[in-house]
Structure 1
Amino acid sequence: MNLILEGVKVGMILCFLIGPIFFAIVQAGVEEGFRAGAMLGLGIWVSDFLFILSVYLGLAYISQVVSGPNFTLYLGIGGSITLAAFGAGALLTAPRTGALPEWSRQTLRTSSYHSLWLKGFLINTVNPFTFFFWIGVASSMVVEEGLAPLDARFFFGGVLGTIIVTDVLKIVLAKRIRQWLRPVHLLWLRRISGGALILFAIVLLGRTLWSL
């Protein structure tokens, strides 16, 4: 039980961080509803699960890869390009709400579920913070604390479970606030979300180049 609570604490810390994942979830929940937001979230959660599985089973090998001279450079450039691409897509397109009757009480899914899942998966996977976060957690908890396989399952289950629950709450709240928004607010939400993704991409690229 203590390990589950430790995992919940780590997950709660993550849920309060404002990053590209937060803006992507809120945008999907407000514009396209709960199912769309949940599908984007599912891509994020699958990505996190694969990170947990990878770093737990192959921590020694991954540590060698990370210590390579160009790994951080390639990961940072790839992540910044992906974030900038999603941000530009949000800025260059507008939410389709103009022709909807009583639109504030409805949602219109303009993206396929597959594309939403892929968006969530890519935003989380190419984010260097996610990569190094899971390596750091696995190194400190699994290696230094010497967790047994069953104990590691409890701990990582607590972390991932907290992430899923808090993300679902964000999606629900995002959908709820839609009824108080007008079309112009949705447009500005998309611009803020797109601008934030591009800003994160620029910061990520700057930090990557600065560390050379």
Structure 2
Amino acid sequence: MDFYDFKNAFLIGFFMAFMIGPVFFMLIQTSILKGARAAIAFDLGVILGDVTFILIAYYGSRSLLEKIKDDPRLFFIGGLVLIIYGLITYFDRQNKKEALESAEIIDVPIKSNYVKLFLKGYFLNFINVGVLAFWLGTVLVIGPTLKMNENAIFWYFATIILGYSVTDLGKILLAKQLKNKMTHLVIYRLKRIMGIILIVCGVFLMLKGFIPNEKIDSLIH
């Protein structure tokens, strides 16, 4: 995996960490109420949930990927998934109060129990089918792009998880500042920005299926 792929993968992880939802608020809430260690335990559970989804998406679609890895329609499908996910994110008007109420369904014990927090992070993330859809779309696009090289695919997704983890660690350490800044207007704008980014990425991937790689590379570089 070259530096360009590493940078792209890290940025995907970075932006994923700012996807607004129950996990986002639960992480901040746990950090404020129980401290950084408790929040890290919760976040490790969330990350394991993502790893589980990646494995399901990859091995569940591997035979399909092998058959159509050179088919431009693959990029169209992957791009369409990202566009739909982006539109859902863009038009989702769930406010901060509703998101916090969703997060509060998972009870935080008075005394920090790291194992319970880990499991709560895992299951809160795992029950979100939208996360699986996102990873499936990503796997469908990245796999053929990396020529189905298992080593390259492993390091690409490991880098995404690294970017996600590093950004989450920063959120944990800056939880109080983030909490104060998470007004309804800020959340609304963040969702719209993330939605636009996903839509643009989806359009780009759809075009990639019909534009020669040489032309795309010349435009990027």
1:146 counterpart SS class: coil
Contact kept? 2:146, 2:153, Cα under 8 Å: no
The corresponding residue for 1:129 is: 130
Distance change >3 Å, CA 145–CA 62, structure 1 → 2: closer
Q: Deviations over 1:80-99 (max 9, x none)?
A: xxx97753455xx8x9xxxx
Contact kept? 1:55, 1:62, Cα under 8 Å: no
- Choose from 19, 37, 53 the match for 1:35: 37
2:20 counterpart SS class: coil
Contact kept? 2:14, 2:164, Cα under 8 Å: yes
2:104 counterpart SS class: helix
How much has 1:147 moved relative to structure 2? 3.4
Distance change >3 Å, CA 62–CA 113, structure 1 → 2: farther
Q: Report the TM-score, using the length of structure 2 for normalisation.
A: 0.57
1:57-96 aligned within 5 A: 57-60=59-62, 87-88=104-105
How much has 1:57 moved relative to structure 2? 2.3
Q: Distance in 1 between matches of 2:64 and 2:33?
A: 38
The corresponding residue for 1:168 is: 169
Alignment of 1:16 with 2:33, yes or no, is no
Q: Distance in 1 between matches of 2:133 and 2:16?
A: 13
Contact kept? 1:30, 1:177, Cα under 8 Å: no
How much has 1:2 moved relative to structure 2? 2.2
Moved over 6 A (4+): none
Give the number of equivalent residue pairs: 146
Contact kept? 2:26, 2:104, Cα under 8 Å: no
Contact kept? 1:47, 1:124, Cα under 8 Å: yes
1:197-208 aligned within 5 A: none
RMSD: 3.2
Contact kept? 2:146, 2:152, Cα under 8 Å: no
Structure 1, unmatched stretches of 5+, are 64-82, 96-108, 193-212
How much has 1:54 moved relative to structure 2? 2.4
Contact kept? 1:6, 1:158, Cα under 8 Å: no
The corresponding residue for 2:156 is: 155
Distance change >3 Å, CA 89–CA 4, structure 1 → 2: closer
